[in-house]
A and B are shown apart, each in its own frame.
Chain A
Amino acid sequence: MRPYKVLIFIACVMACLGALCVVLPGRIVLGERTLNWPTLAEVFGESEYSEYSEYSEDSDSIAEFPVAPDSLLADTTPSVPTPVIPHITADSTTDSRIFLQPFYASLTESSERVVRVLHYGDSQIEEDRMTQQIREALQAHYGGAGVGLMPLVQTIPSLTVKQQLRMNGRFITPAQGPQRYFVYGFKRNQRADGLYGPLGQMAVMNDSLVKGSEDVTAICKPQSGNPRYSQWKIFADTAIHYSLSGDTVQLKGHGNVYGLSQESPTGVIVDNIPMRGCLGLIFTKMDSTQLTTFCRQENVRLIIMQFGGNAIPSNKNPGTISGIVKGLREQVQHLRECAPEASILFIGPSDMLTQTDGVWQTYPMVPYMDRLLRKMAYEENIAYFSLYSWMGGRGSMMRWQETGLAGSDGVHFTRSGARKAGKAVAEWILEGMSATTSLNDELME
């Protein structure tokens, strides 16, 4: 076959495909399915290549949160249906760390007693990756030791404490351990009585549920942490008897175990409480008496809620997002009732990417949810840290991926990314003490 004929063939294919670009309007809905085809503008790259260039690389500064202009919120590629996003105006530019004042004040007591911080969150905080940074920063300034709370059966390994389980003297994997129940996840793993303890998950030592589970030994070796913890706390039914030996705790009997804790008698204790796949709408399902008692007895003075990310991938409707934020507001109010002395800090979702027409871009609902959460936080008088803005806003996750700070899924941080984010949150909290003191003085004057 002569080359010119091959050329004609190539030209014909390109002409046909080009004609489709003109004829088809980008997306054709065929019943439940959509047929996608790019427009000529997209083919020639007029929308894809400069989308993220306007955002500066320098995103380390968190002194103020730049709120993305409204025009950006509606700026999606032409082929993506633009969601109808209501206009929201944050009603205050006040540094939200002013709402952490009670927590800052409580830190002065840390030399005499424990000041506890509960860090609840979704998979972004698994492995203690972010919480570790907050813990280390607070303990360095205000004393304290130990990783704090951990479940009896640690299914998700932690960077800071390595757990091994023995049941009836034999090493077991977590899956072979005592029956566990969660306030999040599948309904079949949930309890009607809401008794999950502060971790939102608990284990039942009961021979009839899992053979041999009336005798469990947990060896929990700290992987880092200086100074070393000096005491254990076991949160369990009184029917459970335990004995301690170094990093090992042996529990015997039938009953519920809500958690183990390695800590110090004074200083700051920061608990890492990851809830995989969770939206954060679970606190009202937990037994409020149990939670209230825990917060009072353990002097919980700060509750960090880091949720929102799980609402993004499956929700394209602003109304649904708005409903979820409304639900989160109720959770905040509920936690405030359970822990009236605790300040609350909400950490919003990070930038998150999805692929649309082969191009990675921010989920349209991320900036919207971030703004709704910020508004909710101001209205509820709680502090708000916008992970999304701090990262650099729309598309910043791509830069995180390129530098090895985020995984290729465009959603989760890598360990180094989580470390960077955790460190930023820790610094932001600590810097807030001086920043808000002067602000408070000004307000008082």
Chain B
Amino acid sequence: MMEFLHHILGFDAESPLLFTQFYFWAFFALVYALFALLMSIKPSAVSNQRLHLRNVYLLFVSWFFYYKTSGLFLLILAFVTLSDWLIAAQAYKSKKKFWLCLSVIIDLGLLAYFKYAYFFTDMINDLFGTGFRVFDIFAYIGNGFSEAGRFSVDTIVLPVGISFYIFQVISYTADVFRGRIQPVKNILDFGFYVSFFPQLVAGPIVRAEEFIPQLYKPFRLSRRLFGIAVFWIINGLAKKIIMSDYLAVNLIDRVFDNPLLFSGFENLFALFAYSLQVYADFSGYTDIAIGVAMLMGFYLPMNFNSPYKSQSPQEFWRRWHMSLGRWLKTYLYIPLGGNRSIGFGTYFWWTLIALVSAALTGWWWMMIPFCVFIIGVAVWNKIQIRRQPSAISNQRKLLCSNLNSFITQVLGGLWHGASWNFIIWGGINGIGMIVEKIWRKMNWHIRFTVMTLLTGGLCVADYLTNLPVWRLFAVWAAIIWVVTAVRYIYFLCEGEDTKFTKALGTAWAVLQTFTFITFTRLFFRSSSNLDPATANEVAWETAKNMVNQIGGAWTNAVIVPFLVEYRWVVAMFVAGMVIHWLPTNWKRRYRLAFSAMPLWLMVLVVCVAIVVIYQFVSAEMQPFIYFQF
């Protein structure tokens, strides 16, 4: 019991409070017990004080939670809370942009320091051949201005959740500056908004205007919402442990660690399974966060809306990590000009991306077509403005939207991780969105011609080089070409879409979007236990090896034995995808049916669900089986 209490109260970097561990739920039960006691104070007498007390209590609980997760990095959280609270107040009073800029500089400066120091150092070393190394100034100060001491000055540790709470405080200051919300008078209330523990480490990113009004509303939880909250928690646990951890441990991690040990089919399967795993992991965690917050009477925004049902990359980004998407749209895409204009910001980011890419690849010749392109864009844009100063043509909208959304995607990729693979990932997503938008604007004659030329070109490239990457693209393009040809012939013969053909078209679009997003996942994985330079190298090697295996080491004879030997893993993947693709109203129905259960039955169902989930925690591992030699 003493050991248990020590785990509950002390800081141990090895044992953070995670939603999937018993310790978190013990912690939550204790927190909730006191919360219930506070909420039992008679509302008629001290209503406002009670709300204030609740907020202060949850603030300190959240700080304790963060301390348990990140130790002394709590000070960083406290610092940004204080600085943005003060700056936002000044920004509101003076209406000067200076204060907004100051907030952004401080917040992004901290994020850059803790998250991107290695990345920038490596980039500078690569560009200029220098040998700089990171130096942790905070550790130096913590050691009493000494390099030796309790803290290591040679490494900069990334505080947990910093990417999330930094974006939250920026949104607060920006919203206050724009007059969307009033500044929060009490710093403790503001601290609560920044630190609320269910969403502190993994989102969703709650915007000030969505959350701060809730601070002043009394506790409200209907019977049905209680049931929904419990459902989200169990649903999240099942996603995280069954769909994510089980698949990861028994197949995905092995393949991504050593793609060369596995055949092309196994690599492809693992890649698709990884798509599901990433979704289940992230959305499972936020589902739990939403459920836990709801039990305390706070409502967090939805963060995932069945993203693999998307029919286009653009729709995918409206359904995936929605809180980040909304944040980027409000505070990056629209300030850049959105789909209405392109200005200094757009040219600056495009030029910077091109310069850095050219410098790192050594392909300086790329700058010539880039300059032609960007000057062409600028001239065309000017001409359009002169022709129609008050209206925006559709072509100009398309251009502005594409240029700005590409920057948003690349910077969004960088937000996910401080390495090149995440930037590439963002870039591929950006290109995918642009291509899809252009594709939609083509008629069937052009689509068929384009696909024929593209497929032919890829087949020739495959034949001439015999490189797996070309084979992979050629096969992919050939599949799309076949379907495009069928649809083209149908268009020529029938012309009109029927209900059935529309449904087929939707299924095809969903499948293609899922495949495209899965392909981008090649660049989404990075080892957190490696230094960033090595992580970059490993991520690139992994992507390369997986492509080589899928495109070059394909053996049909492996497929059946693999499906038989890994039947549980395959079954979990199939079940996960089937559940994911269930119609939304079906899901709503079973969610409501659960929430309407009598409480005693709900207790029973929850217990059974936890016992079942635990079977996956404790399941024996799938033994290694090699199908290719």
Contact = CB atoms under 8 A, between A and B. Distances in A.
Q: Do A and B bind each other?
A: yes
Interface of A: 1-4, 6-7, 9-14, 16-17, 20, 35-38, 43-46, 49, 79, 123, 126-127, 155-157, 170-176, 182, 184-186, 189, 201, 276-277, 310, 313-314, 354-358, 401-404, 407-409, 411-412, 414, 416
Contacts of A155: 553, 628-629
26 contacts: A2-B40, A6-B32, A6-B36, A6-B221, A6-B295, A7-B33, A9-B226, A10-B32, A12-B603, A13-B606, A13-B607, A16-B607, A20-B611, A44-B3, A46-B3, A123-B261, A157-B260, A173-B551, A173-B553, A174-B553, A201-B629, A277-B626, A354-B621, A402-B529, A409-B253, A414-B538
Interface stretch (B158-166, B397-405, B433-441, B612-620): B612-620
Given A3-B36, A412-B257, A412-B258, A186 B29 contact: no
A3 B40 contact: yes
B183 interface: no
Interface string B282-314: 000000000000010000000000000000000
Given A6-B36, A14-B29, A409-B257, A172 B466 contact: yes
A313 B260 contact: no
Contacts of A10: 28-29, 32
Closest 6 CB pairs of A and B: A407-B257, A3-B36, A36-B618, A358-B617, A277-B626, A185-B629
Contacts of B362: none
Contacts of B625: 277
A126 B629 CA distance: 11
A358 B607 CA distance: 18
Contacts of B230: 9
Contacts of A46: 3
A90 B39 CA distance: 67
Interface of B: 1, 3-4, 7, 15, 22, 25, 28-29, 32-33, 35-36, 39-40, 219, 221-223, 225-226, 230, 248-249, 253-254, 257-258, 260-261, 295, 465-468, 471, 527, 529-531, 534, 538, 545, 551-555, 599, 602-604, 606-607, 610-611, 614-615, 617-621, 623-626, 628-629
Contact of A276 (B36, B253, B615, B629): B629
Given A6-B221, A7-B33, A186 B258 contact: no
B260 to A, nearest CB: 6
Given A13-B606, A155-B553, A354-B621, 20 more contacts: A2-B40, A3-B40, A3-B219, A4-B40, A6-B32, A6-B221, A7-B33, A9-B599, A10-B28, A16-B604, A17-B610, A45-B3, A173-B551, A173-B553, A182-B629, A185-B626, A277-B629, A310-B624, A313-B623, A408-B257
B275 to A, nearest CB: 18
Contacts of B261: 123, 126, 276, 412
Given A355-B249, A357-B617, A3 B39 contact: yes
A4 B257 contact: no
Contact of B618 (A13, A44, A357, A412): A357
A326 B606 CA distance: 51
Contacts of B40: 2-4
Contacts of A127: 260
Contacts of B621: 313, 354-355
Contacts of A11: 29
A289 to B, nearest CB: 24
A298 B33 CA distance: 77
Nearest to B624: A313
B260 A156 contact: yes
A74 to B, nearest CB: 20
A234 to B, nearest CB: 23
Contacts of B468: 173
B33 A44 contact: no
A171 B40 CA distance: 77
A175 B553 contact: yes
A297 B467 CA distance: 39
B258 A407 contact: yes
A420 to B, nearest CB: 14
Contacts of A35: 611, 615
B529 A45 contact: no
Contacts of B604: 16
A119 B248 CA distance: 32
Contacts of A45: 3-4, 7
A432 B254 CA distance: 36
**Secondary structure type dominating chain B contacts:** helix
B462 to A, nearest CB: 11
Contacts of A174: 552-553
A398 to B, nearest CB: 10
Contact of A277 (B611, B615, B624): B624
Contacts of B295: 6
B222 A1 contact: yes
Given A44-B4, A171-B466, A37 B624 contact: no
B629 A175 contact: no
Contact of B1 (A3, A44, A157): A44
A44 B35 CA distance: 24
A344 B33 CA distance: 66
A185 B625 CA distance: 10
Contacts of B534: 404, 416
A170 B464 CA distance: 8
Contacts of B1: 44
A186 B561 CA distance: 12
A276 B627 CA distance: 10
B35 A3 contact: yes
A53 B611 CA distance: 30
Contacts of B466: 170-173, 176
B258 A7 contact: no
A265 to B, nearest CB: 32
A402 B14 CA distance: 11
Contacts of B221: 1, 3, 6
Contacts of B467: 171
Nearest to B527: A404
Contacts of B33: 7
A407 B553 contact: no
A151 to B, nearest CB: 11
A277 B33 CA distance: 54
Contacts of A277: 624-626, 629
A423 B254 CA distance: 25
Contacts of A357: 617-618
Contacts of B223: 1
Nearest to B554: A175
A57 B500 CA distance: 65
A6 B29 CA distance: 10
Contacts of B599: 9
A105 B538 CA distance: 41
Nearest to A44: B4
A2 B32 CA distance: 12
Contacts of B602: 9
B326 to A, nearest CB: 30
The residue in A1, A12, A123 that gathers the most chain B C-beta atoms within 10 A of its C-beta is A1
A2 B607 CA distance: 22
Contacts of B39: 2-4
A403 B529 contact: yes
Nearest to B463: A170
A277 B465 CA distance: 32
Contacts of B617: 357-358
Contacts of A411: 624
Nearest to A19: B607
Contacts of A314: 623
Contacts of B4: 44-45
